[in-house]
Amino acid sequence: MVSGNMSGNHSTWPEWVYVGVVVALLCYVGAEAWNIERIVEHVPADAEIIKVTGQQWLWTFEHEDGTKEIGELHLEKGKAYKFEITSKDVVHSFNIHDYVVLLDAVPGRINTVWFSPNEAGEFPIQCREYCGLIHYNMRGTLYVENGA
Amino acid sequence: MKVIFGLALVLGLLVIIPSIENALAAGDEPGEYLDRRVEIWGLFYRLMIVAFTVGTVVSGLIVWLVLRFRESNPKAKPTEYEADGKW
């Protein structure tokens, strides 16, 4: 058994430096993540709202002017869009991988996420929450077109 | 010890207070156009740099400790307890 006086005799500054470095790193990681989340979730005032509804096993999109699309979504390059995402049956997850858009579609709840496509082209939309037999094929296509 | 603790406290406050102010103030303004890909992947890479740096330092320290303080190291000295035979 170690005698009692030894624990008080050695220098403890390395331990305190270690604790300080760990605390500083945790603060940095937390602050960075929090800040980016805040920036990314901050919707521009002129964002067009798109209502997204998931159901087994397809995606429905409704534009602000009432236009509806099933399995396809046509957007304009350079504009901001805010998705209001919900589900009619089970939990789905709305994902546009190429634009890092990913949010759950939950029955009875509207989740929001926004993005601004800055590249024209076709991009896959995919359900990312296992939602039943045909989950693997619950896909859609995002068409980003150059504006008029 | 007090100096180190005080320094850590001051540096911590210098980061924390502006961050809180920034976060609270931003709620009143409309957001700006941005590329999610750049922001999110940028965050991911920065945090990966932190994670791998910490991993390298910690594992390097453990390897150094194991090699330096092994009994067979020519520089190894018995501890006070071992030298005196008192435990």
- A59 with A9, same domain? no
Would the CB atoms of A99 and B36 count as touching at under 8 Å?
yes
Min Cα separation B76/chain A (Å): 18
Distances A69 to A18, A50, A59, A110, B33 between C-alpha atoms, Å: 56, 11, 8, 19, 25
Condensed to tens digits (0 to 9), the pLDDT of residues A20-60 reads 988 999 999 999 999 999 889 899 999 999 999 999 999 99
In this predicted model, which residue has the larger pLDDT, B32 or B59?
B59
Instruction: State the total domains in chain A.
Output: 2
**Mean pLDDT of the B4-28 span:** 76
Would the CB atoms of A2 and B81 count as touching at under 8 Å?
yes
- What is the reported pLDDT for B7? 84
Tell me, what's the ipTM?
Answer: 0.80
- A96 with A136, same domain? yes
What CA–CA distance (Å, rounded) separates B25 from B22? Answer: 5
- A72 with A20, same domain? no
- A27 with A80, same domain? no
**Residue of chain B with shortest Cα separation from A20:** B8
Q: Which of B4, B15, B21, B33 to mutate to test the interface with A (most CBs of A within 10 A)?
A: B33
